[in-house]
Amino acid sequence: MRLLSHGEPVIIAELAAAAGHPSDVVQRGVAGWNDTEYDRQGRIVGWGLTLRPTPHSFSVDGAHLYTWCALDTLFFPAVIGRPARIESPCAATGIPIKLTVDPTSGVSALDPPTAVVSIVTPEQVSSVRTAFCNPGRFFATPDAARAWQRKYPGMDVLSVVDAHRASSPLSEMLLDDSAPPLQHGLE
């Protein structure tokens, strides 16, 4: 994600150098990651953070990127260690939701201040993007999220600040250097 946050596709050799693992090990590990997006040259263009357009615009240091879901926008700044400006339409009304997320200070400049995030915790996940990310959206108000919540049983709707707080274990997991490499997709 840190490499993708610069706004350019990532080649395996770059990822291997950044991870401190041999290229062949990284290649095998990446092949096992569900939902990884590649361009025609075989470079990685998305894994949670993506160069391909989604509803969730994510701008970092002038690089214009996207994320797979609303929740990603809230914890990826901590993972990449840089603030991001986010814009995403309300899934019900189309009203733009705008905010800034700083890795240290959290959410600021939230507009509208009534915005909420839908979070679903699926029982089974064969594809993170399909099961978890696709239903995870921003809404201008809790009322705007009601129909979406009925569509996805077991979904929670949280204020943006509460969703940011709830997402912090995800960033901590991705930043955990003591975790075995397999946990991050490498053998």
85 token code pair: 């400006």
Residue tagged active-site, from 24, 39, 69, 176: 69
Instruction: State the average pLDDT over residues 24-53.
Output: 89
Give tens-digit pLDDT for 77-122: 999 999 999 999 999 999 999 999 999 999 999 999 999 999 876 5
Which residue among 111, 133, 156, 177 is the active-site one? Answer: 133
Going by DSSP bridges, is the β-strand pair 49-50/37-38 parallel, antiparallel, or unpaired? unpaired
Instruction: Tell me the backbone φ, ψ of residue 46, rounded to 5 degrees.
Output: -165, 140
Which position among 39, 61, 72, 90 bears the catalytic label?
Answer: 72
- 89-115: buried (b, 16+ CB within 10 Å) or exposed (e) per residue? bbbbeebebbbbbebeebbeebeeeeb
DSSP classification of residue 6: G
Whether 90 is catalytic is no
Provide the CB-side half-sphere exposure for 79 (13 A, CA): 23
The whole-model pTM stands at: 0.82
